[in-house]
Structure formats: structure tokens, C-alpha cells
Structure 1
Amino acid sequence: MNTTEIDPGELAVAPAVIAKWQGILDLVAQVIQVPAALITKAEPGSLRVFVSSHSSGNPYGRGESPQSCGSYCHTVLATRRPLVVANALTDPHWHGSPNAQQGMISYMGYPLRWPNDHLFGTMCILDSQEHAYAPAHQQLLEQFRDVVEQDLQQLYTSRQREEDDAAMMQQIIITEKMATVGRLVTGIAHELNTPLGNIVLCASTLADRLGEISTQAASRKLTQGGLKHLLEEGRDACQMIERNSARAGDLIASFKQIAVDQDAQERRLFKLEETVRNITTAMGPMLRREHVELAVDIQPGLTMNSYPGHVEQVLAKLIDNSVTHAFVGREIRRITISAAMDGDMVQLIYEDNGCGIAPDVLPRVFDPFFTTRVGGGSQGLGLAIVLNVVQAILHGTVRLESTPEAGVRFTFRLPLNPLAR
């Protein structure tokens, strides 16, 4: 997997790290006996003091754009090399520069780099007197420079890891979405066998009876009673064909809407009751096979401007999770899905009466790859995906409550319109 490219300009240094750098600069200024030790930060079109030593005679405050050290530091950034100036007043290159004219005549500075070789800024010391910096001074500043760059590397790689994890989770969501659709296809295909088989049987039987009646009519053996019996059989067959066609049509319509929502994943207006009915209809074969009773209680007319495909994905994961984990060895198996408006939010509740979750396991169930069925084919991604979808896409929250042997209760708070919040 390719790592994500990070823009260092978007990274913020934590207060604890800044405090650590402050201690370093204070120590450097004390050991080398200079009035100013600085860490500067390069920003578009400017250079500012990021951390400044608390030393006597230091004219630089944090956040300032220093003039007297600017030329020195700009040279370090431009050349990407260390710079040592013992006395700018006697150095032909620096004589007459703003640095010398404004009092800071000696300087030693090093560039600070991010892991991707972009420049953070400089680490430097300045003095208003001539200062021939000894090799030990240079080594000391180099050691502290390395410490600061290690902190920058940790900050960079930590953000990179977060971005990579987010990208991986998004890919997992997509993969799991397709797997969910695949399971629904299998379930619906199996469920369609019954109504389609009944339609074929009725149509075939009706055709045979029409053939018999046609033969009787041709041989003048058709009686009024026989014709009446045929009409009754034909009416019953048509009614059965109509019922089974409606059943097949409902299954296909539910799956078609789910497939469209899962493929497009677009925000649109939808009635929550219809979305819940679509997913429960599509998962009906699995629920019936596992003898699970499903009750749905959605506030009539509850309309959301959100992502129905992701709502379906969340519910499909929860139903699959209950069937896989909650009902082993239980005779009475029940799932309840309810929802009602609460201001500009929807409170969606998912409950089952399964085995529940142990208290020591409960804090970890949303962690990626956590499963209580190691080696049992479970990847431990179901609830991690639920949490990611709810927070990152639906902009909602989820609270899980569970007591061993008393089932689970997921309470979701979802905005009616995520983009309006």
C-alpha cells in the first residue's frame, strides 16, 4: 500500500513538544553563554520566531518576524547548509548587512528538515558580541538539532499513519460494501426460487389444462361442468401467479434500491422506513433461515437528506453481527429496529436479545480487527466499520449498551441533514 504524502504546513506541533524545545533552547543559551537561542519557522513569504530562549538580553519574542537575524536564517534556508558568522563587522560578506547594523553580529544556525526533506525552519544562536564558536558548541547545537528533527519525524509519521489508516479503512468499507451486496445477491437469488418456481408451476399446469380443454372441445367432449372447473382452476392459478409475481417484484425492487444506494453512495432525500424495509427484506432469507424474529418501528414519514446506502450498510452489519455472534444456542431470537425524530436529529435504536457482551470486552468492540472468535472466520471489522461510517460519513454518534445474557442496544444519533450541521 502506498503511503500518503503529507503537507507539513498542515501539521501542528503539540504544546508538550514546544515545551521540550523551550527547555533545549534555554539550556543551549546557558551553556554557550549567548543572549538568544531560537527555533524559527519558515512560512510562505515570511520567517517567524517559533520558540525563543528565556535568556537575559534576548530581543526576540515568539511569533515575531525577526529583522536582525533574518538575513542569517534566510541564507541557511536558501543554501540548506549550516552557517557560522563569528563577527559580521569584520566579515567582508556580512559587513554592512542589516544583521550587523542591528546589533547581532555573531550567528550559528542549522536548517531543520521534515522527513520529506521540506524545510521546517532553522535552529540558531546569536550574540551581540564577537563569538568564535568552538567545535564543542557546534556539536552541541547539532545534537539538539537532531532531537528537534526526531520530533518532527515523529509528528510527520504519526500523521502519515493516521492518513494511511483512514485510507485503509475507506478501502475496507468499500470492500465490505461489495461483500454485503454479494451476500444479499445470494440470499435474494435463493429467496426468488420459491415465487418463481410457483409461477412456473402454475403457468405450466394452466397450459396443460388448457391443452386438455382444447382437445375435449375439438372432440365435442367438453361439458359445462368441465369448463366451469377450468375457469376456477384458471382463476386460482392467476391469483397465485399474481401473488408470487408481487413477491418477486418486491424482492427485486428492494435489492435494486440497495444496489443503487451501495453503488452510488450519494446523499439524497429518502424515507428511513423504506430504507430499513429494503435492507430487512433483502436480509429476510438469512433471518428466516436462522429463525430470527425482526420487529421494525420507524416513525411514519421520517425523511432524511443523507446517505441511505451507508444507513443500509450499518444495519446490514449489525444484523449480520447479531446472527453470527448473539444467538448461538438460543431458541428465542429477536431483533428490534426503531427510530424517531429528535429535533434536527434521528435517534435510531438497534437491539437484540442475544448473549450480550462481557464488560471486559465492551470497550474494545469498536477496535479494528478485534474479535472474540479468533480462528472462527471473523475478521473483527464489522463494528469498526459501523463506527467509521457513522462518525465520518453520517456525522453521527453511537452508544453501545450491553449486559451479559441480556442482549445489546446500539443508540445512534444521526443528523437529518449532515451537510447542514
Structure 2
Amino acid sequence: MGKDSGTGYVISRLRRFDDKAVYVAASSRSKPELPAETKEKWQRLVNHVAVALRQPHALITRLDQDTLYVFLHNETEDATFIKYDRFPLGLGVYCETTLSGDTVNFVPDSLSDEAWKDNPSVEFSLISYIGVPIRWPDGELFGTLCALGDKPMPEDRALLEDIALFKSIAETDLQLQLEKQETTSHKRQFDTAISEVHHRVKNHLNILCSLIQLDMACDLSKEEFVAYQKKLTSQIKGVAELHTLLAYEGHETVELSAYIRRMMENWIKAAPNRQVRLDASLEKLEISGRRVVYFGMLLNELVTNSFTHAFGPDHPDPTITLALEDLGETFRFTYRDNGPGFRASLDSCPAQSLGITMLFEITVDLGGRVTQEEGPGASFVFVLPKLL
């Protein structure tokens, strides 16, 4: 017996009637326990199997690591089999051969069969057997459904058809139990995801509120206030785009190049009477959904500066150049425009100086670094970690 690390199954060694060793995957710990109502139904099933096949013993066995035990037996006064009786694998009992295949194992009379005449069950006068393996929907073995007798069984095709029908009933029940477990698991995951969404939206709104308070601490002219309104609108849209991507992709990371393109498309569409050209070379890479919020703030500040200060009405060819490079655990993002350049003083307020202050502070908070390069135009290079 051993553990298969790839599947989580226990690997059990069986001994077939032909004395061959067979290894099967069974006893995964991820399978649900059968509820009482299913066990009651199966009890009626094994009772019916004994009657329908006209045999004194009908069993459902279960494979548990290196043993096979009696899960249920037909209700009878005969004490040959007791519930939870265990048989170590390797003895060569009928059910071991049944487990090693996918078809009906039919032994009409073991005493007249050279391959079966010495099997351990003969000692208990169980000379006839018919059984089928029972499997979970993913193919993992549950155990067997079988009937045994102390007299030879007639070689009747109806017996084979009946046992196959009973097998399908049991395996349908296993499928229903697995689907119920998966539904419950999905519901828990859904509830957790909804809670996470509420928490994330709250945090993102708090970030926006903090930015608003920071901006409003400065005296704004009428023109600056109009520009500020546009910037705030773009920040809100940026958070909305993030949640759209998270909902679409269904996991905790976001493909950053797609997010950047959607943000830039929104900005360019909203540009009043300006044909802004985008020159983007963006590698695909995944980053944390939480980190994208802050990256969106950085991008928003850069684009706001370009549209507000770099691209005047007389600019002949307003262009934003972007580059995104995957560096392994980090990534490099380069932003350039072809305006007059970013010449803000960190002592002035608000306009460009507040924006550039935010660029540096957010970058440091994210554990990255930013370099402001010489023009022409505004040029910044960010190196940031992918995950929080």
C-alpha cells in the first residue's frame, strides 16, 4: 500500500484468482460520507439482491486502504458475515478479482473450477459468487456489490443483467452524493467570494475617499476643479473596470495588459476634441487583484497629467507610449508622452506636484521603485512586485 501524491488516493494491492498482483487507486479522503437515507436505501437494495438472485448472502463491501470490509449485508439470521467484518487484501477472495476489473465476476461453482477451488471462501462453504465493482463517478473504487451461495449458481443470463442493474442504482446514488458535496462546496466558495467582493469594494471606496480628501486640502482654481472632477471620474471608472475584470475572470488575479488597454480606451474615448494616439507594447502577465487598484491610481495620475498639461489644443500629434515587461517576480511599466515634460515642484500645490507626489508614495507603498527620466515629454519607469 502506498500514497499517490498526484491524486490523493491510497494505492491498494489486490490478489486476483490467477495469483496476479493488481494495484488499484482507492480510498480518497475527499469523498463524502453516505447519509443515513442512502444507507437505508442500500440496505433494501442488498435485501432485494439476495431475493432476486436467489442467494443466501448479498453484500456491499467497501475498500478502505489495505482492507475490504462488509459495508452492508442482507438481513438474515445467518451470521457468516457480520457488518464491518474486515478482510485484509491479498487473501485472494472473490471480491478482490471483482475490484480489479470492470465487468461482472461470475463463479457458478468454484469446486468445479480449477482457478477457484482453493480460494478462502470455500472454507465457509461459499462456493458460488457473482459480483460487480462499484465506482464513484471519477472512477475511484467504492467497493463491490455481490451475492454468494453455498450451492452452484445456474448460468443464467438474467443473473448478469440483474446484478448490472443493481450496480447502476448504487453508482447513481454515489454520483448524487458527489454532486451534492460539490454543490455545497460551491455555495461556500460563492458565499466567501461575495464577502470578499463587499470587503474589496469597501476598501476601494476608502482609497477614493482618501484621495478626494487629499486633493480637497489644496485651493483649486475653477479650471483645476474641472480637471479634478474629470480625474475623479476616471478613478471611479478605473475601479469599476477592475471589478469587471475580476468578475469576468473569476479569480484573484488580473491580466494586467487587458486592464491597461481598457483604461486607456476609456480615456481616449473621453478626450474632448483630441485624437490621442496610443503606442503600446504590453506583455501579458497576471498580478494580484488588490495590487491592480493601486496600479490603476498610478496610471490615472499619469494619464491625467498628459491630458491636462501635455496635450494642448495645438499639439500636432498627441501620443502616449506604454511598455509592459514581465521580469519574473516583478514587472516593468514604462509610461511616456510627447508633451513638454513633467516639471512639477514637490513644494507647490496641487496640480502636477500633488500628482507626482502620489506617484512616488504609492510606488513606495507597493514595495517598488520609480525613475523619472529626462524628456522629451514626461517619462516614468516603474518596477513593481506582482503579488502582495
TM-score (norm 1): 0.43
TM-score (norm 2): 0.46
- Of Structure 1 and Structure 2, the greater strand share is in 2
- Of Structure 1 and Structure 2, the greater helix share is in 1
